Amino acid sequence: MEAPSTLDQARRFLGAKRIALVGLSRNPKDFSRGVLRALVERGYDVVGVHPSPPEGDGLRWFTRVQDVSPPADAALLLTSPGQTERVLRDCAAAGVRRVWLHRGTGAGAESPQALAFCKEHGIEAVHGLCPFMALPGAGLGHRVHAFFRLRKAPRS
């Protein structure tokens, strides 16, 4: 696996005007819901992407990335490995050139295959970092996590 992205790359991603959040859980206590709340609280224009959109949250939902209107500038993938390839193809078809492949504690969107797809299609991929590490106003715990995560990561 490649070395994680830098905080500068993550912050460049967060400079997007409109972010498609792909893979939001129906469970209100899920990590993905916390990411959504944090983005919305900080004023990001976030839209949800899910094949069968959950109810609530006051979020505008679309079934595919290429259906997002107006189009998204970036996509944050909180997807399972089985869904990531399809979503990346959708991102490429929609002209989304910045993605964040979130892995979390288990098998998530980040994989060697996903990173290779992004390289082949000219998509800048943030990976190896938690979105909370790069958000403005991140708490001390997230900043410390970022410091140690990036400090021990080998650079290619």
pTM of the complete model: 0.86
Work out how many domains the chain is built from and give that number: 1
Structural domain includes residue 118: yes
Domain-embedded: residue 1? no
The CATH number of whichever domain residue 36 belongs to comes to: 3.40.50.720
Q: Which of 70, 71, 54, 53 is nearest to 62 (CA)?
A: 53
Report the interhelical angle of 112-120 vs 81-94 (nearest 10°). 10
**In-domain check, residue 106:** yes
Domain containing residue 59: 7-152
Which residues partner with 98 through β-bridges? 124
pLDDT, tens digit, 9 for 90 and up, residues 62-103: 999 999 999 999 999 999 888 999 999 999 999 999 999 998
Residue 2 lies in a domain: no
Q: Count the Cβ atoms, other than its own, within 10 Å of residue 35.
A: 21
How far does CA 81 lie from the centroid of its chain?
Answer: 14
Closest to 63 (Cα-Cα) out of 34, 110, 20, 92: 20
Is 87 a member of any domain?
yes
pLDDT given for residue 1 in this prediction = 54
Is the Cβ–Cβ distance between 125 and 2 less than 8 Å?
Answer: no
pLDDT digits 0-9 by tens, 1-48: 577 788 889 989 999 999 999 988 878 888 888 899 999 999 999 999
121-152: per-residue pLDDT in tens?
999 999 988 898 888 776 545 455 455 455 55
Q: Across the chain, what does the average pLDDT equal?
A: 85
The answer to whether 149 touches 129, Cβ cutoff 8 Å, is: yes
> Would 147 be classed as within a structural domain?
yes
